[in-house]
Structure formats: structure tokens, C-alpha cells
Structure 1
Amino acid sequence: MSKTGQARVLTPEQFAYLLNVIQEHRHPQKNTALVQISFKLGLRVQEIALLQIKDVAELGPETTDQRSFRLKEILALPAAYTKGADALKRSKSTYQRRRISFSIHDFDQLVRRIETMAKAGAEINPEDFYPEVKKHRGKSRDLPLSDSVLRTALEAYLRLRLAKDPTLKKTSPLFLTQKGVPYSPNTLQEHLALMQRQWAGIERASSHSGRRTLMTNIIHEQKKSVKVAQKIAGHVSASTTLIYEEPPEESLKETLHSVGFTFIG
């Protein structure tokens, strides 16, 4: 079952309107590329914020003229960018436990160990018996940059970036804020929501709408297997991807629109 309050899955008409509205605001090339990456590759907001130029393009040598570049065929997303990989190094130094769990075998061994220590008169500190915290590791994935509209958007944006600063390094952040600094995930999350909700007037749309829209399209419209969607999404477990098997909102709307009884007077 899907979670309540999930990000809006956009219809093709809403997505097209969003792209048109972006052209009426500042930085249309950057914002178009941001939206295309979100909706065509399904990247998480942290993954987009961490992208570097080298992830999507090979840069030519620095010259006094327009610096050249070649868009890559595949975006090789490093594991360090992905969810749970702590790529931003912002995890807490201490972990505040709320609950712990043991297997029956481990619990039996733990009880025997505590009994032995108690008989020996040793000091017993509960924290010494907590199981180790399982650290979530990121999952790398290769995403083909095959969509022509996505490639056009990236090329237009990179051409503009290099025209403004031909000295860009391959490790430079792909996207910068209006202040010229790299996006934090929170800032990018707010920006993507701003474009969809305020600029395009799409209720309940968020930075996760691109990812949900892509997964829903793969499963429901293209009728691909959950394994394909799981690979693209970078989910460790297929059960996470199964959330997207819920029918999109438009399907529910169409069904409810025609389900009423017709009374003949």
C-alpha cells in the first residue's frame, strides 16, 4: 500500500506546463536541466545536489573561445552519492537509540553472558550489550543518458555555464544556486517544490515528484517489471519499489468520475 501524503505524480500535461512556466522565470536553462534530470532519471534530491560536471560530460581543453564538452552516454552514479551513504558527512556523531532487537539465538547468548558476569560480580552496563548499529550503504547505478530532450537540456545548460566560466573543472558542482554556491539537499528540495507548486500551481508536488512520476510511468505505463524500476531507482529491496505499484492518481480520478449511478427520471 502507498503511504499517505506522497508526492504528486504529474500527468504529461502537467509536466509540459511546468517546462513552459520555467521559461518565464530566471535561469531557465538550469531549471529545465534540473527538472529533466529529476523526471527522466529519477534521481533523489541529494544525488542531484552532489552531481559534478564529470558525471555527465567530458570537458575539452581550456581555450579563449567557447570551451568544448561532450555529453556522456551513461551517468555512472557513485555509491557515495546515494541515500544512506553519508556523502555530505552530516550524520550525528552519536546515535540515539530508541529500540534494539535480537534474534532468539543472540538473545539466549546474551542472557547467559549476563548471568556469568553477574555471578562473577562484574559491573553490568546495558549499553555494552547493544547490537551494532547497521550502517546503510549507498548503491551505485548506471543510468543511460539516452532521452533526447534530457540531453538537449543538459547541453544548453552546460554551454551556458562554460560560456560564463571557461575555467570550470571537471569536479565542479553541476548545479549552483543564484548565489553561485552548490545546492544543499534542503535548498534544492525547496527550489524544486517552488517551481512545481508556485510557478506551475501543481498541488502536493515536491522534489520527490520526479522520482515518483518516473517509477509510476515505468511500472504502469510502460508495463516494465519491478526489477527494472528497482534498478533505475537504486532501491536495495524490491519491496521499496513495490510502493510504486499503486495506481497513479489520474487512474483513480478517471475511475471515480465514471463510477456513479445514473438515474432516469
Structure 2
Amino acid sequence: MPKSGQARVPTPDQQKYLFDVIRQRRHPEKNTAIMQISFKLGLRAQEISLLQIKEVAKVSQAGTDFKLLEVMSLPAAYTKGADAMKRSKSQYQRKTISFNIESFNQVVRQIEKLSKSGADVDPAAFYPPVKKHRGKSRDLPMVDAALRKSLVDYLYFRLAKGEKLKPSTPLFITQKNVPYSPNTLQEHMALMLRDWAGIEKASSHSGRRALITNVIHKQKKSVKIAQKIAGHVNPSTTLIYEEPPEEQISDALKLLGEIKQ
């Protein structure tokens, strides 16, 4: 089972049902493309929300045609911890701080000196600097047939509405014709997974977890390959996905019923 707080990894049957349901709802071209990118390239919701057309296709000069790229080059600014387009509504608020012993002792001595001199002590002045996440660029081959078809269908759908495509135009836009914020897209993806497809505990991270779990457990690829696909700076983050997928655990528990008591 996934750890508390981790997104559910949908089974292959659940994934198939998800895409079947999407086709029966409004905006099937857009929603199919969003979820195909999630499941076939493992992008985070923030990364998907920041995608521009130039990341998936080369647009003609007139903006009336395009050629799908073979490889998606994801800029470092799109990756975790980087709000490249300032679309995120969430603001970081520090709740905890941590020191090593030497730094802590140094802070205590500084506070003692200030206190003896009668100066005011502002706790925030002694907080250690915030460690910022580093973005990591990555090249992701767009080789999956279903993924490519979904992108072609979606872009042709936009052209059919009379839109002129531009390289810097956001790839995905809302019904209000504005780019998705990371938060809005997270909620929309969770809606499709949980409410439309009925996958309990699923989130916008489910497609990403499903892909990396498949690469490690079913394809038996190295953690290095999974790390490259995921865009993890530290391989220890990728190692979290070495846990057995939920379906394997379920199969093991089912076999218990076959044991004669």
C-alpha cells in the first residue's frame, strides 16, 4: 500500500477505465492529453500546467499547422520548487526550523550577548536560510502511440476552433481561456481520477507514481533510468518507488485464502 499521504497507483484496468470515462465527458481532447502526459511521461501537475506548445510541437509560421516533436525538452524552471510563470497560488510559510549542534550553540551564544546588553531579540533573525529546491531539466522521448495521438487530436481540436497556434502559447488552458495554475490543475486531475473514475486516494501524482513504479518493478530498469525520467535531483527520492506496487500486495493477500486452515 502507498505510504500515508502518497498518491494511489492505479492498476492498468483502472487506467483504462479512466480514459474511457474521460471520452464520455466534456473536453475529452484536452483531458485525455493531460492524463496521457501524466501517465506516459510522469510530469508533475506544476510541470504540465507550465507547458507551452513549443515543448510538444513545432508550429508553422502561419500558426495553422504543426509537427509533433519526438522529444519533449522540459526546462529546469518548470520542475519542482520553481514557479516559472508565477501561477501558483500557494505561498511558502515556514513552520519548522532545524540546526546542527554547532550552529545551535552559536545562536545561543549570540542571543546571550544580546540579552546581556539589553537589546531586543527577534527570533526570526536567527532562523537558518531556507533551502530552495533546485530545478532539473530533462529530455523525455514522446514515443508512446496513445500519448502522441492525444496531443495531435488536442492540437487539431484547437485549430478547428479557429485558433492560431503560437510556440509560447500555454499548452493547456481552462474553460475561461486562461492558463492553468498548478493548484487548479492538481484539483482538476484529482477530480478526474477520484470522482470520474472512482479511484480512491488518487491524486495528480498518481500517473507519475504509476509510471515510475512500472519502470522499476515491471520493466526492471535501473533506478538511474527512473531517476532521469522523474527528474529527481537525489536518487534516494526515486528509491521510494522501490516499494512493491499495491496490486502485488493485493495478490499476495488473496493467496492467503487458498491456504488450508
Q: Given that residues 2 and 8 in structure 2 are in contact (C-alpha distance below 8 angstroms), is that contact kept between their aligned partners in structure 1?
A: no
Change (3 A) 1:258 1:164: same
Deviations 1:78-119 (A, max 9, x none): 1111111132435788x6544333333434444555566667
Amino acid at match of 1:136: H
Shift of 1:168: 2.6
Q: Which of 206, 212, 215 is 1:215 aligned to?
A: 212
Could you say what the CA RMSD is over the residues aligned between the two structures, in angstroms?
Answer: 2.4
> Would the aligned equivalents of 2:78 and 2:135 in 1 still touch at CA under 8 Å?
yes
Distance 1:52 1:97 in 2: 32
1:214-253 matched pairs, under 5 angstroms:
214-253=211-250
For structure 2, list consecutive stretches of 5 or more residues without a partner in the other structure: none
* SS of equivalent residue, structure 1 residue 188: helix
In structure 1, the residue corresponding to 2:154 is in which secondary structure? helix
Q: Is 1:196–2:193 an aligned residue pair?
A: yes
Q: Decide which of 97, 101, 108 is 1:100's aligned counterpart.
A: 97
CA displacement at 1:130 relative to structure 2: 2.4
Q: Do the aligned residues in 2 keep the contact of 1:218 with 1:224 (CA within 8 Å)?
A: yes
Deviation at 1:231, TM superposition (A): 1.4
CA offsets 1:205-256 (integer angstroms, 9 cap, x no match): 2211101110110111001112211111111222221221111111111111
C-alpha separation in 2, matches of 1:132 and 1:164: 49
**Deviation per CA, 1:107-164, whole angstroms, max 9, x where unpaired?**
4444555566667676554433322222222222111111122111111111111222
Match of 2:16 in 1: 16
Match of 1:259 in 2: 256
Q: Classify the secondary structure of the residue corresponding to 2:185.
A: helix
| Aligned partner of residue 240 in structure 1, secondary structure | helix
SS of 1:143's partner is strand
TM-score when normalising by structure 2: 0.88
Unaligned 5+ residue runs, structure 1?
none
For the Cα contact (< 8 Å) 1:80–1:86, is it kept in 2? Answer: yes
Structure-2 separation of matches of 1:77 and 1:237:
18
Distance in 1 between the 2:155 and 2:32 partners?
12
AA matched with 2:199: I
Change (3 A) 1:121 1:32: closer
Equivalent residue, structure 2, for 1:133:
130
Asked which structure has the greater CA Rg, the reply is 1
When residues 114 and 168 of structure 1 are mapped into structure 2, their CA distance, relative to the original with a 3 A threshold, is same
* TM-score scaled by length of structure 1: 0.87
Q: Distance in 1 between matches of 2:21 and 2:119?
A: 70
2-structure distance, mates of 1:125, 1:24: 58
Aligned to 1:25: 25
Which whole-Å CA distance do the structure 1 matches of 2:188 and 2:134 have between them?
A: 27
1:43 paired to 2:43: yes
Counterpart amino acid of 2:178? Answer: V
The Cα of 1:166 is off from its aligned counterpart by 3.9
Report what 2:81 is aligned to: 84
Residues 1:165 and 2:162 are matched in the alignment: yes
Q: Look up the equivalent residue of 1:78 and give its one-letter code.
A: P
Q: Partner of 1:61: helix, strand, or coil?
A: coil
